[in-house]
Amino acid sequence: MIVECPACRARYDASGRAPGSRFRCRCGAEVTIGQPGADAGTLDCPRCGAPASPDSTSCAYCHAALALVGCPRCLGRVFAGARFCQHCGAPLEVPAQPLAAAAATMRCPRCPESSGARLAPRAVGKTHLEECPACAGTWVDGQTFAAIVADRDRQAALASALPGLTAEARPVPEAEVRYLKCPDCARLMNRENFGRRSGVVVDVCKAHGVWFDGGELGEVVGFVMRGGLDESRRRELEEARQELQRRRAELGEETVEGGALELGGRDGASLLERVLRLLR
């Protein structure tokens, strides 16, 4: 059974633990293991979307095998393989950690291994962070970082607690590059200039989260609050439009006029898909 911490949204595999028992999440919040709901109502097949009874063992339309599991957030019954809970809308494909991870602390990816530096939980408003007391770096899991970028209340709370929010965009420093290991899975992370123009180079593990060196999280939040991310998206869209015009001109086709994107041909279609992705 997968359960979710109500404070930081971390998920744990609590298989074998009795309903009603409790444990403490890594963020410090106490989590109670609940009892999944008994009445699921009519559910949708996770493969074809057809309605199915919770008692069904296979879909009457696509014949996919069906099995009930509990939503980690609301404990409502859903079919295994569903992407979202039909009761509360929570995403269901978020990976869960072993329950033992709740009591564990992660090693700092920036400090030398010989230092033994570990990350400590910190709550800023409703945002859960993992900070290194030695180097002042910050680890933010993927769900939390997406919430920070989308939620102005979270940004405002961080603005009063983190340094660097008044810093202007700066060039990427030409220092010796060192790729860091994800503190969660220990795989090497990618280095990315956040928003392509913020000048803040962060370390990203696509599966687990983002590492910010000291002061960088504040700079990134400030960049988002100043509209930098929206401006970056606008510029990417304009660059895609210009590239589309250039490609059509090379093919001897009429250039795009008035902002219309009336495309033909295999190459044009791929560029249109790129533009649509930028708008999502």
Q: What is the pLDDT of residue 62?
A: 94
Q: What is the pLDDT of residue 168?
A: 42
Give the least confident one: 17-21, 116-120, 135-139, 269-273. Answer: 269-273
Which tops the pLDDT comparison, 39 or 221?
A: 221
The structure tokens listed for 201 are 């180079």
Share of the chain above pLDDT 90, in %: 38
Question: In this predicted model, what pLDDT tens digit does every residue of 108-163 receive, in sequence order?
Answer: 999 998 998 999 888 888 888 999 999 999 999 888 898 899 899 999 999 888 76
How high is the pLDDT of residue 178?
Answer: 87
Residues whose CB is less than 8 angstroms from the CB of residue 35 and which lie 6 or more positions away in sequence, other chains included: 19, 20, 75
What's the whole-number average pLDDT of the chain? 82
Q: Give pTM, 2 decimals.
A: 0.62
Mean pLDDT of 251-279: 47
Residue 251 has pLDDT above 90, yes or no: no
**What's the confidence (pLDDT) of residue 139?**
94
Per-residue pLDDT band for 82 (boundaries 50, 70, 90) equals: very high
| pLDDT attached to residue 72 | 92
Report residue 175's pLDDT band, with 50, 70 and 90 as the boundaries. Answer: low
> Of the given ranges (51-65, 108-122, 168-182), which has the lowest mean pLDDT?
168-182
Structure confidence at residue 10 as a pLDDT band (50, 70, 90): confident
Q: State mean pLDDT over 231-248.
A: 86
Question: pLDDT at residue 56 above 50?
Answer: yes
